[in-house]
């Protein structure tokens, strides 16, 4: 049963600390998305990659956030330095683009981040 | 104006009734529309996608799209307590990967 995995599932850290979240997309998928979900803003797209290349990171605060795909099996989202307003659930999703776009995004279980 | 508007609810319906969830969007060039279901503490999962005006049925679920009115809805027939969740409306512009989500409507099905 193929699924997206994310680590860690929960992270509590203090303001100013670096946070790294990891995602393993479904094997064979060529598109990876990073989302942030809060009660107030809902689900927001932070960045997405196709074939490991970043296509859009306009939703990401660039001064503190960075996203990378070192290889096809790993995507990372890093926050440095973290702030209390970064507290949210961060989801990774993957999909297979055949042609122009993919309809189905498969979401991982999320990383619940709390910044004190 | 938000790109996607949904009533946050909660929408309460009795078991066996029809639940009607509504969504409006502002981007006139949007071409693909989706409904995701998210159980509390879980991740979103796609339940319906619709691309052309009219109705699309899948089991107890029917998605309805009216591009002229920029309106998409989801009907759940014979609602079950297991349908209790937050339903997220989303859209995508053709040729782009970015999917824009609404904040969701919480549905409660009362036994």
pLDDT tens track for B8-21: 889 999 999 999 99
The nearest CA of chain A is from the CA of B36 a distance in Å of 10
- Identify all chain A residues contacting B88, using CB atoms and an 8 Å cutoff: 42-43
Residue of chain A minimizing CA distance to B105: A42
Calculate the dihedral angle through the C-alpha atoms of A46, A50, A53, A58, rounding to the nearest 10 degrees: -20
- The pLDDT-based confidence of A100 (bands split at 50, 70, 90) is low
What is the radius of gyration, based on Cα positions, of chain A? 13
Phi, psi (deg, nearest 5) at residue A77: -130, 125
Asked whether A94 and A29 are in contact (CB, 8 A), the reply is: yes
Interchain contact, A48 vs B98, CB within 8 Å: yes
**Dist. CA A54–CA A51, nearest whole Å:** 8
In A8-29, which positions are buried (b, 16+ CB within 10 angstroms) versus exposed (e)? Answer: eeebebeeeeebebbbbbbeeb
The nearest CA of chain B is from the CA of A41 a distance in Å of 7
| B 70-89 near A (Cβ less than 8 A) | 88
**Dist. CA A18–CA A64, nearest whole Å:** 9
- Identify all chain B residues contacting A109, using CB atoms and an 8 Å cutoff: 42-43
pLDDT at A2 over 90: no
User: Rounded mean pLDDT of B15-32?
Assistant: 88
Phi, psi (deg, nearest 5) at residue B68: -65, -35
pLDDT tens track for B65-95: 998 888 999 999 999 999 999 999 998 876 6
User: Across the A/B interface, how many CB contacts are shorter than 8 Å?
Assistant: 50
User: Is B46 near chain A, with CB under 8 Å?
Assistant: yes
Angle (CA) B47 B91 B4, round 5°: 110
Start-to-end CA distance of chain B, whole Å, equals: 36
pLDDT tens track for A15-27: 999 999 999 999 9
DSSP string for A59-85: TS-TTTEEEEEEETTEEEEEESS--GG
Asked whether A92 and A75 are in contact (CB, 8 A), the reply is: yes
User: Rounded mean pLDDT of A84-113?
Assistant: 88
- Identify all chain B residues contacting A103, using CB atoms and an 8 Å cutoff: 32, 34, 46, 49
CB atoms near residue B41 (< 10 Å): 9
């Amino acid at each position: 049963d193929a699924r997206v995995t994310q680590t860690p599932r929960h992270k509590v850290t203090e303001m100013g600390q670096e946070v790294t979240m990891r995602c393993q997309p479904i094997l064979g998928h060529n598109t990876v998305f990073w989302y942030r979900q809060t009660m107030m803003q809902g689900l927001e797209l932070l960045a997405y990659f196709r074939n490991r290349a970043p296509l859009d990171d306009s939703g990401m605060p660039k001064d503190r956030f960075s996203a990378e795909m070192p290889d096809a099996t790993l995507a990372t989202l890093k926050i440095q330095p973290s702030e209390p307003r970064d507290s949210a659930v961060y989801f990774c999703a993957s999909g297979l683009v055949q042609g122009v776009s993919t309809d189905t995004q498969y979401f991982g279980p999320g990383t619940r981040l709390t910044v004190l | 104006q938000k790109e996607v508007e949904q009533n946050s609810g909660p929408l309460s319906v009795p078991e066996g009734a029809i639940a009607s969830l509504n969504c409006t969007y502002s981007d006139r060039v949007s071409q693909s529309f989706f409904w995701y279901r998210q159980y509390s503490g879980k991740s979103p999962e796609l339940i319906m996608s619709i691309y052309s005006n009219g109705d699309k049925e899948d089991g107890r679920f029917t998605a309805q799209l009216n591009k002229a009115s920029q309106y998409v809805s989801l009907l759940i027939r014979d609602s079950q307590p297991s349908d209790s969740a937050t339903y997220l409306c989303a859209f995508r512009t053709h040729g782009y990967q970015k999917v824009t989500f609404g904040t969701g409507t919480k549905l409660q099905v009362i036994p």
